Amino acid sequence: MGDDDESCSRSLPMGKTAAERGLPECYLNPTSHHASLTPEVANVPTIDFGKLKKGSDEEERATVIQEIRTACRQLGFFQIINHGIPQSVLDGALVVASEFFELPDSEKAKFMSKDVHKAVRYETSFKPWRVFLKHYAHPLENWIDSWPNNPPSYRETMGEYCREVMELSLEVTSAITESLGIGPTYLNKKMENGMQVIAVNGYPPCPRPEMTLGAPPHSDHSCFTIMLQSSAGLEIMDIGDGKWKLIPELETALQVHVGDHFEVLSNGLYKSVVHRATLNSERTRISVASFHSLGIDEKMKTAEELVSEEQPAKYRESSFRDFLNFLSGNDIAEGNTFLDSLKLA
Ligand code: OGA
Ligand code: NI
């Protein structure tokens, strides 16, 4: 997501109660970035991936593909059940994530950087109210040695999660391209050789959760993002009625965001969902976002099959590196978005 304005650069402490914390001026946001304490709850399309596995009933499979198409067009968002990743692997990822955030600042500072081109980096800010560790994850053997080795089980446990999610991402790719009518193998080779970037986000308890946000409104640059969260807090913009909707907790599910590059692939048929993270005053919320893209210099182009006289091409082609260059050259807080920069005319 956007690496936003860092007008307040003090380190955000983990593990202290909200009441023990001061209220720095700089964390208060303009009213457009205030959250509701009683948000409307989203009616989240739930996709049963068990019905897409090899050997499943053809008719059932076609129904699920249609459900994916509807979800991607209407919301750009759905959640997956029966994804096949063991609950112990999901729980393990959340546990090592929170153990990492609980480490002394000196330990985490080893990874501190604002250089968006770095393959591993840690950041902390009051505005938005968040700490995060980002790292590349695929192919795993290329990157795992550069990840934190404290907590001692971080590499193994997070590595297992990343491997499982990478596998799932190829099924998601197939299902989405099939749902677009361009076939289940349209992008799989490129995604297999593509990028997986992990963002481990921590949102400590906030004394005034209604006054600010953990992640400002944004869409993800990726083809799509697979999210795991420890508790509710993610909100999506429902383009149907223009309202923020809270994604309710469903412990075993994983959430999928359509990202900018699949909006481009689909020539705007599928929507890169605008979303944000809200806060609470009681407990730290953890999320693990896995961003899936083509190779770093591989350009995402709109599928020719989806361009016609009635539907002329709407987007320029771009790569993950183009996104990073956009990020380092633009102030996201000013409302500039990568997706807008790709729109033709
Ligand atoms: C992100 C993101 C939301 C969340 O990391 O891109 O949207 O709930 N996170 O953590
Ligand atoms: Ni995001």
- What domains, with CATH codes, occur in the chain? 30-342 (2.60.120.330)
> Is 97 close to ligand 1, i.e. is its CB under 6 Å away?
no
C-alpha of residue 166 to centroid of ligand 2, in Å: 18
Beta-carbon count within 10 A of 47 CB: 23
Q: Which atom, in ligand 1's list, is nearest to the CA of 199?
A: 5
C-alpha of residue 144 to centroid of ligand 1, in Å: 22
For ligand 1, mutation pick of 287, 288, 290, 339 (most atoms within 8 Å of CB): 287
CB 108 within 8 A of CB 209: no
Which stretches of the chain score pLDDT less than 50?
Answer: 1-7, 9, 19
pTM, two decimals, is 0.93
Q: Which atom, in ligand 1's list, is nearest to the CA of 132?
A: 5
Give me the pLDDT at residue 11, please.
65
Helix (H, G, I), strand (E, B) or coil at 259: coil
Give me the pLDDT at residue 1, please.
47
Determine which helix (DSSP H) or strand (DSSP E) holds 154, and give its type and residue range. helix 154-179
> Is 133 close to ligand 1, i.e. is its CB under 6 Å away?
no
The predicted-structure confidence for 259-305, as pLDDT tens digits, reads as follows 999 999 999 999 999 999 999 999 999 999 999 999 999 999 999 99
Give me the pLDDT at residue 125, please.
83
Give me the pLDDT at residue 5, please.
42
C-alpha of residue 56 to centroid of ligand 2, in Å: 32
C-alpha of residue 165 to centroid of ligand 1, in Å: 16
Ligand nearest to the CA of 280: 1
- Contacts of residues 302-309 at CB distance under 8 Å and 24 or more positions apart, as own/partner, are 302/264, 302/265, 302/266, 302/267, 303/180, 303/182, 303/186, 303/265, 303/266, 303/267, 305/181, 305/182, 306/180, 306/181, 306/182, 306/265, 306/266, 306/267, 306/269, 307/267
